[in-house]
Amino acid sequence: MPKIKEKTIVAGTRGSSLALAQTGLVIELIQRKNKLFSFDSKIIKTSGDNLQRNRNSTLTGKDSFTREIDLALMRKEIDFAVHSLKDVPVEDTLGSKKQKLEIAAYPKRESPYDVLISRNREATLQTLPENARVGTSSLRRGIQLKLFRPDIEIVPIHGNVPSRIKKMRESESNLDAIVLAQAGLRRLNISDEANEVIPSDVILPAIGQGCLAVSVRSNDYRTKKIVKSIDDRRTRLCVSAERTFSKELGGGCNTPIAALATMKGSKIKLRGLIVGETSSTTAKSNFVIRDEIDGKAEEAENLGRKLARTLKAMSM
């Protein structure tokens, strides 16, 4: 007799085009290794989505884009949640002793880098016109852009990836360029929109940029086992270093700190950045400090902790 498929396993996701593409990717990866099960997705609106639609609102709360999805997971309305890792707080915000949530898988990381998209498709960050207006909602990006090109003006821009590109391309737009994550463009199959991949020595990425996090209920052993099948060890080690660095600094997704861990063989190299007092309107800071550390892969968390403490000491 043919095997009977078990009940459908449901993934929770935001409703943006990027979030749906990412969830589809995760489901595809899981299905390759678990052909017995069928999968579906459920769109859940988050407080971050609601705030993002209001141009006069400022995103607040370190879990603005994850809270409602995680609550649905705890209530067993979904079986696992797919998040952009940079949206996931480094400290626990949900869960109880009875119903704990955990990240069961970090799929293989996409590009962690940022890209420039400009109205003049030939322009680079170096060749943008003097006093160019560059759109980004990230203070981390804005501060580093101003270090490289002090003349440019940083202009806040919100919305999903396609809408930001559309706003910049519109004839009435006063923007010369925008900066976005390369991973998002790749997952949406629109990589050709980018003019330039910005080197990490110009803009160091956000903690966990390019990574996805797949969360489950800790006591749902069946789903946990299924999700763990797509966990990438190298990605897990690298983000462990980055997120420990962030946690040691007391940072979250809206804090202007940055880090990128890379692995070569059994070694990890971690680069980090912190800033001093900042102005969200001018994207200026009274100091920006970078440093790096390397060591054995199994010491990932300790490397993150050490680098954070080093940068803290340098800032005093």
β-strands 9-13, 39-43 pairing: parallel
Supply the pLDDT for residue 93: 59
CATH code reported for the domain at 114-198? 3.40.190.10
Sheet containing 288-296, strands listed edge to edge, beginning at the edge strand earlier in sequence: 258-264, 267-275, 288-296
Supply the pLDDT for residue 48: 80
pTM: predicted TM-score of the whole model, two decimal places: 0.90
Query: How far apart, in Å, are the Cα atoms of 20 and each of 94, 111, 214?
Result: 23, 18, 14
Residue 2 has pLDDT above 80, yes or no: no
Mean of all residue pLDDT scores within the chain: 90
β-strands 267-275, 258-264 pairing: antiparallel
pLDDT digits (tens, 9 = 90+) for 233-280: 999 999 999 999 999 998 655 568 999 999 999 999 999 999 876 666
Residue 286 has pLDDT above 90, yes or no: no
- At 57, the pLDDT band (50, 70, 90 cuts) reads very low
Query: How far apart, in Å, are the Cα atoms of 185 and each of 31, 52, 205, 261?
Result: 24, 19, 15, 21
- At 3, the pLDDT band (50, 70, 90 cuts) reads low
pLDDT digits (tens, 9 = 90+) for 170-211: 988 899 999 999 999 999 999 999 999 999 999 999 999 999
Q: Residue with structure tokens 């080690």?
A: 237
State the average pLDDT over residues 68-89: 96
More confident residue, 50 or 288: 288
Supply the pLDDT for residue 219: 95
Domain boundaries, the chain: 1-107+211-231, 114-198, 233-316
% of residues, the chain, pLDDT over 70: 87
CATH topology identical between 1-107+211-231 and 114-198 = yes
pLDDT digits (tens, 9 = 90+) for 131-181: 999 999 899 999 999 999 999 999 999 889 999 999 999 988 899 999 999
Topology, domain 1-107+211-231: D-Maltodextrin-Binding Protein; domain 2 (3.40.190)
CATH code reported for the domain at 233-316? 3.30.160.40
